[in-house]
Structure 1
Amino acid sequence: MTQPTVLPPLPRLPNAVPRSGVSTEARRALRQLLDDMDRALATAFRDGADASALARRRGDSVGRVVVHVWTACLGDVTGAALFAIGGFGRGLLFPRSDVDLLALVQHSDAARMRALEQFFATLWDIGLKVGHAVRDVEQCRALAAQDASVFTSLLDARRLAGDAAMEDALASIVDDPALWPPAPYLAARLAERDARHARYNDTAYNLEPNVKDGPGGLRTLDSLRWLGHRLAHADDFDDMEHEGLLDPAERSTLEEAEATLRRYRYALHLEAGRAEERLLFDYQRALAARLGFEDEHEKNLGVEQFMQGYYRAASQVERLGVQIAERFEEMLEPPSEPRPVGEDFLRYGSRLAVRDPDLFMRRPSALVDVFILRLGEPGIVGFTADTMRRIHQATAHYGTTLGDTPEVLQAFLQLLRLGAPAVEALWRMNRHGLLASVLPAFGKVFGRMQYDLFHAYTVDEHTLRVLRNVARFADPAARQEFPMACGIWPTLEKPELMLLAALFHDIAKGRGGDHSVLGEEDARAFCARLGLPGSDVDLVAWLVRWHLLMSVTAQRQDITDPDVVQRFAESVGNRERLDHLYMLTIADIIGTSPKLWNGWKDRLLADLYTATRYALASDDELPRDASVRIQECRDEAMARLREEGFSEPVVTHVWNDFPEQSFLRHHPEQMAWQTAAILRAQGATPLIEVHPLSVRGTTELFVYTPDRDGLFAAVTAMLDRLHFSVMEARIFNTRNGMALDTFLLLDTESQQPATPERAEELKLRLHRALSQPGHTHQPSRRNMSRHLKHFQAVPKIAFATSADRTRLSLVCSDRPGLLAAVSQAMVEAEVRVHDARIATFGERVEDFFLISDRRNAPLGLAQQDRLLHALLDRLGSGKRAQA
C-alpha cells in the first residue's frame, strides 16, 4: 500500500541566468542538485510515496534544470524551441529514464547549432542521460509522414523553452488530417504492437518480463492513449470513458494496473541503478523485499507474490488492450445491417451483439451461450463494443456466484461437450474475465508464478496452454507429431472429462500442501455441481490427483523393468485412465515449457503407454520371468541380423559373452545395431558407433572397448566438451571384460538429436580420446548461466543398498558439466557406474545411478561417505546434506 505522498520540494535555481553558457562551478552545482533530488525521491519512495507522483516530481525537477541550461546556452531565442517528448513529454521521469528532447528550428545556422551542441553537452555533463534530435519543421513533417513511431512521439511533445510560435508549427504537423488518418494509424499501431509482443514470446508471462515494452506493459497503456487521441480526440482514460470506449470499471482496472506497473518500474530502476526495464532474476527477490512482500510458506514465497502482482496487472492491461483495440476497429468499420443469429443475438458484419441489452443480467447462462454461438458463426472476429461492455458488467455483477448457478453450469457443461473447439471458447472467456467467475478456483491462480526455471508460465497461462495442447490431438494435422495421442482422441466417449482434468490439474498451486490432493477435492466438488455421474467424477478426480504419475514413472524409473511397468499398470487400473493420462501428460509437459519436450520423452512415454496397455489387456500379470523378455529380444534381434547377412552361429558367438541384462534393458533394434557394429569391427577397439536418430528418439552412442576404471568419466567428459546432454546410460560388461556402454544423447542447446555432422564429430573425437587409456580426461570449465546462478540449492544425496549394487540418488541444481563432474567424483571415490537415469526439470536435476566398488560389490558406509564428500566438493557446495 502506498502512503499519502510527501514529495520533496522542487529544486531552487538561480534567479539570474547567465547568457554565456554554464560555468564549471555552475555545472557542479547543478549535478549536485540533481543528485540531491534523486536521493530525496528514493527516500520518499522507500517511505511509501506514490510512484506516479514521484515520477512527475522528477520530471518537473529535471524540466526546470533543462530550461535553466537552455536559457544559459541560447537565451531568448526566436525561431527555435525545445520540446520534451516520450515519457518526459508526458511529464514522467523514472529514476534512470532517458531525458528525450526535440529541438525544433526554423533554420539551422552555424551559430545556433554550436549553441545547441553546447546545450546538449552541458546536460550530459551534469549527469542527465539525454536522447535528442534537432530538426527543422519540414524535416519533422517528412519523418512523421514516413514513420508512425515518429508521428506518435510528437503527440506527447510539450514545449519547455524557446519560441512559443514553434508550438503552432508542431501542431500543424500533429493536427494534419492527411498525416496518418485514423485507419492507417490504427493499423500501424497494431502492427507495432504485434511486432513488439513477438519479441517477448507474445505473452505477458515471461519469467523475466519487460515491465515497459512487454505484452501488457506500460507501453500498452501509452498506446491506448495515443489511439484515443488520434481516433477519438480522447487524450486520457477519463476522456475515453466519456466517449464510450471504456466503462468505469475498465478505466479503474487500467488505472490500478498502471499504478502497479509504475511502482514496479520505479523500484526496478532504483534496485538496478540503471534504466533496466526487465524484471530479471537478479533483482526479483530484492524487489520483493523492497516492496514489502514476505514468504507465507514454502509454496507461496514473497517473490512469487511480488511477481503475481506484476502478472495480474500486465495480463489485465493486455486483455483490455486487445478488447479496446477491437472497439477502435469497430468504430472505423462501415455500418452494416443487423442479421438475426438465434433468438437472442444479432450479427453486425463480423461482430456479435445482443438483442436485449439486459439479456446477460436477466439470464446469466447467456454469458456462456454467446461464446458457444461464436464458435458456430464463421467469420466472426469479436463482439460489438456494447456487448463486450455488457459481458463485463454482468460478470462483475454476479462475481463468483456464477459458479453456483445451475443454468450457467449446464451451459458450461454444454460448451465442454463440444470437445476440442471448446478450448478456443474457454480461452476467449478467460480474456473477458468470465472463466474465473464460472470457476472461482481458477481466479486464485490468475497470475500465479512459481519461482523456478521449470515452469515457464503462470499457472493460469500454463493451464490454458495445456488445454490448447489437448485440443491439438483432435487436429488431423497434428497426427505426424502426436500419432498415438491423435489416435486416442477420437475414441473418447466424453472429451469434456479430458478438458475438465486439464482445467483442474494445477488449480490448487500456491495454497500450501500437495496441489494434486487439493486439486482432486476441487475437481470432485465442481464435477458434482455439474451433475456428472459418479464414474465420470471419479475419472476426472483421479486424473487430477495422479497427473504427474506417468511423467515421474517414465523419467525417474527404468521402464524396461517389468516390475516397474506392472506397478504402474496396477496404479492406473484400466485402459480408460491410461488413455486420458497419456494425453494429459504430453499436454502438461509441453505446456510447462516448450523446451521440455523432445523426441526422447516422446518415445519414453510411448513405450510406457504401450507396455502398460499390454499389461492391462492381459488376463494375467505382465510376465515377470525375465527369461521370456530376454528370449523375445534375442529372437527379434537375430531376425534383423539375418536380414543383414549375418549367420546365426557368428551372432551367437558374440552374444555368448553378453550379459542377459543387456537383452532385457535394450530394444531388439538396439541389440541388432550394436551386434552388427561389433562384427564389422572384427576385433578392433575401441569401437565407437553413433546412431544420429535411434529408436528412443535420441542420438545413441555405443562404446565397446576393454573395460577400465574411469571409462564412464572419460566418456562423459568428452560429451560435456562437445555439448551433449545424457538422457540415459546403460553400463554393461561382457564376460570377457569388454565394456558394453550405451548412452542416449541430445544436443544440449537444441534438445534435439544430433545432426549427421555432429554425430560423426562425436565418433572421431571419442575414438581419439579412448585410444589414450592413460590420459586423464577432465571436463571443460564453463561459466554458469546468469539464470542458473539464482537457483542453486544444497545437493541432496541418498544411498540405498541391494544385494549386489548401491543405488545413488542425486537431487541438485543444474549447472554446466554436472554429469561430467559427478563422474569425476566417482573416479576419485573408486566407484563404478552400472546404470544411470538422468532427468532435468528446469534448474533441478534428479539423477539416479546403480554403482558398486571396484570389486563390483555394494558400497560400504565408509566408501559411501567418501563418495558423498567427493560429490559435494565437485558440485561446489560448502554445505553438506544427505537426504
Structure 2
Amino acid sequence: MGHAGRGGHPGAHGGDRTGRPLSTSTARFVALRRAIVDDDSLGAARRAQTLSELADGWLARLFADVPETARRGFALVAVGGYGRQELLPGSDLDVLLLAGRGDPAVVADAIFYPVWDAGLALDHSVRTPGEALSVAATDLKAALGLIDARHVAGDPALTDALRSGVRDAWRKQAPSRLPELAAMCRERAASVGELAHLLEPDLVQAHGGLRDTLALRAVTASWIADRPRTAEVDLARQWLLTVRDALHRTTGRRQDLLLFENQDDVAALLGLPDADALLRRVAEAGRSIAYVSDVTWRDVERTLSGRRRRGLRRQQPVRRPLADGVDEYDGEVVLARSADPPRDPVLPLRAAAAAAQAGLVPGPQTLARLVAECPPLPEPWPAPALDALVSLLGAGPGIVPVWDALEAAGLVVRWFPEWERIRYRATRTPVHRHTVDRHLVETALVASRLTRRVSRPDLLLLAALVHDLGKGVRGDHSVEGEPIAVAVGRRLGLPDDDAVTLGRLVRHHLLLPETATRRDPDDPATLATVVEAVGTREFLELLACLTEADATAAGPVAWTPLRSRLVGDLVERTRAVLAGAAPHEPGRLTDDLTTLVKEALADSGLAVRVTPPDADTAGLATVTVAAGRGPRVLGVVAGVLALHRLDVRSARAYTEGDAVVLVWRVVARGGGGPDGVRLREDIARALGGSLDLGERLAARAAEWRGRVIPHARPRVELLRDVSADATVLEVRAHDQPGLLHRLATALNAGVVIRSAVVGTLGSEAIDVFYLVDGDGSALDPAAEQAAVAAAWGALE
C-alpha cells in the first residue's frame, strides 16, 4: 500500500480524458458542478460548501456502489481544502482512501477513475491508518493536510482513529514541528514576498496569504499559542477565498497568481470599481493575516523558549533597557516601568527606533498602550522626535517589521496623514515589484546602507521615505510631491532650508536615471540641464544616493549594472563641471570608433565589431556597426539583431560626416554571444535588398504574439526643451521582436534620425529619437506631427 499521487492520470486536468463515455452518475455530477460554478447568485463561501457537499454525495454513491464485501474495512476521507469544505472551481479533489484490511484496488478504481472521467484534478493516496500516521510524523505538509481530515464514506471509526491520532501526535510533537513550520513559512515569505505589497500577488503562497492562515490553524491545534484577532483573520481569509474563487471563474482554471491581465475581470465580477480597488482590499486582508501571523510566531517562540529554560533550570528572562522608557523583555520591546506615556508624545517613535535598532518588534499590548495613552506630537516636532525617526529609518533591515507593526497600530498615519493616500497603492510599471507604501520603506532600507556617502544622511533617509508621496494625488508625482515633501519637512521640525532641499530631492529624484538612459549624452543641453538642476556637489551626492536607493528598492529591472554605470558616468561628468571643469564638448566618436568608420568606408561601406561581455559592458555583449550614411541603416541593423534573437538593452546611434555609427548592448536570448560574421553578412544583404526583413520579422512576431499580453497602451510623445537643435520623440511600448526596426524604418521615411537612445526596462521599450530635417535643423510643426503619426503607425 502507501500509494499516493497528484493528477497523474490523463484525465487529471479537465475534460473527459479517458475516452470512455461518462456514467449517468458522473454525467449528472459534471452538469451540477458546472451549474454551481456558473451560478452568480452564490457567494464564494456558499459555492465552496455546495461544491464540497456535491462531491461528498457523489463520492459516497460511488463508494456505496462497490460490493459490500470489497468495501468493508475501508474509509474515504477528504483532506486539505476539500477536508475544510473549501472546494473552489479550480481546486484539486484531495482524498485519502484508508484501508483497514483487504485489497484496495477495487475500491480505488471505482472511485478514482470516475473522478478522472469527470475531468477533475485528483490528489489521492491509499494508506493504512498506521501508514498515514507514519507519513504525518515525518512529512510536515502531509500532517497539515490531515489535521483537516473529514469523513466522506465508509467506516467512520477508521476516520475517527486517524483524526485523533494525527491531532494527538501533532500536539505531542509541537515543540519540534512548530519551529519546522515557522522555518517553512519564513522561506516561503522570502521567496514569494508579501501579499499586502505585491503588484501581482500570489493569494496562497505570499506572506499574509491563505497558506499562512492554515499555519495559524496548525498553531492553534498544537495548543502552544492562540492566534489574536481571530474574527479579523477569519474575515480576511474569507475575502481571499472570495477573490481566489473569482480568479478561478474568470480564468477557467486553477490559478492563484493575481496577474495584471486578470485583475480588471476579477474586480468586475466582485462588483469593485477597478483593479486598484481590488488590490487594496487584497492588501488589507494580507496585512491583517501577516501581522497576526508574525505576532503568533513570536508568541510560539517565547513559549517554546520558556519551556526550554525551565527544562534547563535557567533563570527567568530579565528586562534590558533599550532607550528612555523602553525595555527589552523576553525577545519583545515593552514599556519600562518608569515610562509615562500620557506625558511623553515622543515615546512611540523612541520605542520604534529602539526596536528597529535592536532587531526586535514592539508587542501588540505595547503598541495598544502607545496608541491609547500617548498624546499626539506637537507641530513642528521636537528635536528628539525627529532624531528618533531618523534613527528608525537608518536601522537597516529592522525597519520593515517595525514599520509594519506601526502601520497595523495606526501610528504611521497619525504621524504622516499623507501616507493614507499611498497605502497599498499599486504602481503599474514594469519595474516596480511593491506597492507605493512598501516601496518607500524599502527605499529607506537601501538608503540606510548609503548614508556614509553623503554629508547629510538625515536628508537622504527622509527623502527616501517621502519621495513618492506625490503618487497619492493627480499629476506628475515628482512635481506634486515637492510641496508635500516641503510641508512634511517643516512639520518634522527641519529648518526651512532643509525642508526646501527635501522638496527638491523629491522633485528631481528621477532626473539622473531618465537623463542617463533617455537623453543623448553628446547633446550639450543634456549635461546643462542636470548641472542647473542640482546646483551643488552636496545636492548631487544626495540625489545620486537617492536614485540608487529608489531604483534598487524598485527591483532588479530598475537598477541593472548597465543603468548603474550610465548614471554613474553622468554623475561624474556633472561633478566635474560643478568643480569648475569645462563642460564636455560633444566629440562624436572616440579614436577607436573613428578607426572603425575608416574601415567601413574602405570595405564596401560596412564594418561590424562584436565585443564579448565583460565588467565594462555590465555583462552585455557589444555590437558596433559602422556604415555609409543612409536613412535605412538604423532600422536595418535593428531588424537583423531581432532576427538573430538578440535582445537590445541599450543603443546609441550617431552620425559623423559620411558615416553612421551604431553601438548596441545586447544579450542573446538563447545564450552564447552574437556571431559577428553572420551579423555582417545579414546586414549587408538587408542593406542590399536581398534579405526581406519585413517578412522574416513578421514571422518572428507571430511566434511572440499571444505569449505576452501588454497591460498598458503605448505612448508617443514629443519632448520639449530637451534639445536646442533637434526634435526629440520618445516612444514607450511593450517590447517585442522587430519593434525598433519598424519605428526606425517608419521615421526615416520622412526625417533624419540624427541620434537615438534606445533602452529596455523589463518588458518596456523606451526609445528616444533625435530628429532633424534634411538641413540638420529641428523639425517644423507639420513634420513633427508627421513623425508622431509615423511612430503610431509602426506601433499599430
Interval containing the TM-score (normalised by the shorter chain):
0.7 to 0.9
Trace 1:761-776 onto structure 2 (pairs within 5 A). Answer: 761-772=674-685, 773-774=687-688, 775-776=690-691
In the alignment, residue 427 of structure 1 is paired with which amino acid?
A: V
**TM-score, reference length from structure 1:** 0.77
In structure 2, the partner of 1:292 is 271
The one of 484, 487, 509 equivalent to 1:522 is 484
1:60 paired residue number: 53
Equivalent residue number for residue 391 of structure 1: 366
Contact 2:482/2:503 (<8 A) preserved:
yes
Q: 1:848 and 1:189 mapped to 2: Cα distance?
A: 51
Render the CA deviation track for 1:524-554: whole Å, top value 9, x for unaligned.
Answer: 2332222221111111122122222233333
Provide the rounded CA distance (Å) in 2 between the counterparts of 1:594 and 1:588.
Answer: 11
Larger radius of gyration: 1
Distance 1:148 1:180, change over 3 A: farther
Partners of 1:374 and 1:66 lie apart in 2 by: 54
1:466 equivalenced with 2:434 (yes/no): no
The answer (yes or no) to whether the contact 1:173–1:179 under 8 Å persists in 2 is no
Q: Which position in structure 2 is the counterpart of 1:372? A: 353
**Structure 1's 872 and 444: CA in aligned 2 closer, same or farther, altered over 3 A?**
closer
Pairwise mapping of residues 753-764 of structure 1 onto structure 2 (< 5 A)? 758=673, 761-764=674-677
Select which of 93, 96, 107 maps to 2:90.
96
Q: Which residue of 1 aligns with 2:101?
A: 107
Q: 1:281 aligns with which of 253, 260, 266?
A: 260
Percent identity, please.
Answer: 25
Which residue in the other structure is 1:306 paired with?
278
CA contact (8 A) 1:360 1:391 kept: no
Aligned counterpart for 1:512 among listed residues 474, 493, 507: 474
**Is residue 402–residue 438 contact of structure 1 (8 Å, CA) maintained in 2?**
no
Determine whether 1:554 maps to 2:533. Answer: no
Instruction: Report the Cα offset of residue 167 of structure 1.
Output: 3.0
CA contact (8 A) 1:714 1:776 kept: no
Moved more, 74-83 or 274-283: 74-83
Alpha-carbon distance, 1:853 to partner? 6.2
TM-superposed CA distance for 1:330, in Å, is 1.0
Q: 1:215 to 1:562 in 2, by over 3 A?
A: same
Mark the CA change 1:266 to 1:352 in structure 2 (over 3 Å): closer, same or farther. Answer: same
**What's 2:40 paired with?**
43
The match for 2:129 is 137
**Distance (Å, rounded) in 1 between the aligned partners of 2:344 and 2:475:** 38
Shift of 1:509: 1.5
Displacement after TM superposition at 1:344 (Å): 3.8
Q: CA shift at 1:404, angstroms?
A: 3.7
State the superposition RMSD in angstroms. 3.5
Q: Which runs of 5 or more structure 2 residues have no equivalent in the other structure? A: 1-20, 310-315
Indicate if the aligned counterparts of 1:811 and 1:847 stay in contact, CA closer than 8 A: yes
1:317 aligns to 2:289 (yes or no): yes
Kindly provide the amino acid, as one letter, of the partner of residue 672 in structure 1.
Answer: D
Decide whether aligned partners of structure 1 residues 810 and 595 sit closer, same or farther in structure 2, where only a CA change above 3 A counts. Answer: closer
Q: Distance in 1 between matches of 2:669 and 2:463?
A: 33
In structure 2, what is the Cα distance between the partners aligned to 1:804 and 1:471? 42
Find the counterpart in structure 2 of residue 595 from structure 1. 557
For the residues of structure 1 that align with 2:457 and 2:85, how far apart are their CA atoms?
A: 54
Q: Matched residues in 2 for 1:870 and 1:861: separation?
A: 14
1:847 aligns to what SS in structure 2? strand
SS at match of 1:274: coil
User: How many angstroms does 1:858 deviate by?
Assistant: 6.9
SS in 1 for 2:65: helix
> Which residue is equivalent to 2:360?
382
> Could you tell me how far apart the structure 2 residues matched to 1:726 and 1:175 are?
56
8 A contact 1:189–1:223 mirrored in 2: yes
Counterpart of 1:428?
A: 401
Provide the rounded CA distance (Å) in 1 between the counterparts of 2:467 and 2:705.
32
> Which runs of no fewer than 5 residues in structure 1 stay unpaired?
1-21, 235-239, 295-301, 475-488, 631-660, 878-883
Q: Which residue of 1 aligns with 2:506?
A: 544
Matched, 1:454 2:447: no
Structure 1 range deviating more: 95-104 or 71-80: 71-80
Q: Cα gap change, 1:491/1:552 in structure 2, threshold over 3 Å: closer, same or farther?
A: closer
Shift of 1:258: 1.5
- 3-state SS, counterpart of residue 741 of structure 1: strand
Pairwise mapping of residues 153-168 of structure 1 onto structure 2 (< 5 A)? 153-168=145-160
Hey, what's the Cα distance between the residues in 1 that align with 2:719 and 2:460?
39
Between 186-195 and 388-397, report the one with greater CA deviation: 388-397
Residues 559/252 of structure 1: CA separation in 2 closer, same or farther (3 Å cut): farther
Q: Does the CA contact (< 8 Å) of 1:714 and 1:777 recur in 2?
A: no
Separation in structure 2 between the aligned mates of residue 799 and residue 146 of structure 1, nearest angstrom: 64
2:626 matched residue in structure 1: 704
Q: Which residue identity is paired with 1:229?
A: A
Q: Residue 306 of structure 1: SS of its match in structure 2?
A: helix
Q: Which residue in 2 is equivalent to 1:729? A: 652
In the other structure, the counterpart of 1:118 is 110
User: In the TM superposition, what whole-angstrom CA distance separates every residue of 1:465-485 from its partner, at most 9, and x where no partner exists?
Assistant: 2112212224xxxxxxxxxxx
Q: 1:727-756: per-residue Cα shift (whole Å, max 9, x none)? A: 23232233xx3x240314142769xxxx9x
Structure 2 CA distance, aligned partners of 1:525 and 1:862?
A: 44
Partner of 2:15: none
Shift of 1:415: 2.4
In 2: Cα distance, 1:438 partner to 1:430 partner: 12
Question: Residues 462 and 133 (structure 1 numbering): CA distance in 2 closer, same or farther, change over 3 Å?
Answer: same
Q: Relative to 1, partners in 2 of residues 1:683 and 1:309: Cα closer, same or farther, differing over 3 Å? A: same
- d(CA) in 1 for partners of 2:705, 2:211: 29
Give the Cα–Cα distance (whole angstroms) in 2 for the partners of residues 172 and 81 of structure 1: 15
CA contact (8 A) 1:154 1:174 kept: yes
User: How far off is 1:104 after superposition?
Assistant: 0.8
Question: Number of residues paired by the alignment?
Answer: 750
State how 1:863-882 maps to structure 2 within 5 Å.
Answer: 870-875=790-795, 877=796
> How far apart are residue 504 of structure 1 and its match?
0.8
Distance verdict in 2 for CA 1:491–1:549, change over 3 Å = closer
Map 1:802-817 to 2 at 5 A: 807-817=728-738
- CA contact under 8 A between 2:601 and 2:627: conserved in structure 1? no
Write the mapping of 1:164-563 to structure 2, written as runs, cut at 5 A: 164-171=156-163, 173-177=165-169, 181-201=173-193, 205-232=197-224, 240=226, 245-246=227-228, 250-294=229-273, 302-334=274-306, 335=309, 336-341=316-321, 344-348=325-329, 350-356=331-337, 363=344, 365-374=346-355, 377=358, 382=360, 388-394=363-369, 397=372, 404-405=377-378, 410-418=383-391, 421-432=394-405, 433=407, 434-474=411-451, 489-492=452-455, 494-563=456-525
Distance 1:564 1:328, change over 3 A: same
Q: Distance in 2 between matches of 1:362 and 1:177?
A: 51
Distance (whole Å) between structure 2 residues aligned to residue 461 and residue 179 of structure 1: 37
Of 124-133 and 264-273, deviating more is 124-133
The residue type equivalent to 2:50 in the other structure is: R
Cα contact 2:609–2:624 (8 A) shared by 1: yes
- Aligned partners of 2:528 and 2:429: how far apart in 1? 33
> Against the structure 1 CA distance between its residues 424 and 598, is the aligned structure 2 distance closer, same or farther, given a 3 Å change threshold?
closer
**Residue aligned with 2:96, SS:** strand
Residues 609-653 of structure 1: CA distance to partner in whole angstroms, max 9, x if unpaired?
2222233333xxx757xxxx55xxxxxxxxxxxxxxxxxxxxxxx
Q: Distance in 2 between matches of 1:425 and 1:532?
A: 25
The letter of the residue matching 1:81 is A
Alpha-carbon distance, 1:203 to partner: 6.3
In 2, are the aligned partners of 1:795 and 1:813 still within 8 Å (CA)?
no
